[in-house]
Structure 1
Amino acid sequence: MPDPHAQASDPSGPTTAAATGPGTQGRRRRPAQLIFEPQAGEPEPERFFDLESIVDPAELLSRSTELALAFRAAAERATDFQAIAAAQLADPRRFDALTPAEIADRADWTPDYAARMVDYGRTLQKQRSAEGGLH
């Protein structure tokens, strides 16, 4: 008859008490080792808003035009936010204000473009404060 107080060896960690029945602390178990790698599924074909599945050219033109206009509006809005951020970073009241050249380096712009974005951002900030919006 096995000794209920015997120690069981577990290669995954320190020795723990052997299990003797319900309610007693058993030894830790290691996860089962995989003997094969799961099959990788077929790569899904790229989809662009399911435009490739539209067969009617009139519908395709309509839907792709809607998307192009939406992306254009999103790009313009993102550019406005870039300009506001550039203006905030260049604010001389900040102890860590950046020069247009430093902003250009961070945004991958030319220094001239960064200076114009700072000016544009200041204009947007003035418009927002005049309208009672956020700075």
Structure 2
Amino acid sequence: MSEPRPAPDPRGTAPAPRRLKPAPLLFEPPEATADPEHFFDLESMEDPRELLGRSTELALAFRAAADRATEYQALAAAQLADPKRFDRLPLSALAERAEWTEDYARKMVEFGRTLMRDGGSRPDGGD
């Protein structure tokens, strides 16, 4: 899926790269996440064919999850920026809250409005 990307800084200065802390993976046991080398038991696989297969499955699952989370972000952005809301957020506040640029926030609001128009109130077409 093609998704909005932050616009370059017009002043020509690149912002310092932000290192985001990943969300905890709720389906891994707590003792597994205590070991920084542990990642879905991939480190213990010795057969490279098995390792490639399992790591590919995980990569595809995470991409799908990221795409879906982005769609939910867009829906929320569109709802929060809706001019009919008495408590709507201006783009600047929305961008600050989500740690986006205003240009990216604008694109996410447009994307969210498209999703709402085309598929109901949720990215999967449900209610």
Please give the range of the TM-score, normalised by the shorter of the 2 chains: 0.5 to 0.7
TM score, norm. by length of structure 2: 0.67
User: Within 5 Å, which residues of 2 pair with 1:76-95?
Assistant: 76-95=67-86
* Partner-residue secondary structure (3-state), 1:48: coil
Provide the rounded CA distance (Å) in 2 between the counterparts of 1:132 and 1:105: 29
Of the candidates 89, 95, 106, which is equivalent to residue 97 of structure 2? 106
Of the candidates 45, 48, 64, which is equivalent to residue 35 of structure 2? 45
Higher relative contact order (CA 8 A, sep 6+): 2
Identity across the alignment (%):
63
Question: CA offset at residue 133 of structure 1?
Answer: 3.8
RMSD of Structure 2 on Structure 1 (CA): 1.9
How big is each residue's C-alpha offset from its partner over 1:100-119, in whole Å with a ceiling of 9 and x where there is no partner?
11100000000000000000
Of the candidates 12, 36, 46, which is equivalent to residue 55 of structure 1? 46
- Quote the residue 1:35 is aligned against: none
Q: Which has the larger radius of gyration?
A: 1
Structure 2: stretches of 5+ with no match in the other structure: 1-33
TM score, norm. by length of structure 1: 0.63
Structure 1: stretches of 5+ with no match in the other structure: 1-43
Provide the rounded CA distance (Å) in 2 between the counterparts of 1:132 and 1:71: 20
- Quote the residue 1:119 is aligned against: 110
Aligned-partner residue type, residue 45 of structure 1:
D
- Quote the residue 2:62 is aligned against: 71
Provide the rounded CA distance (Å) in 2 between the counterparts of 1:69 and 1:60: 14
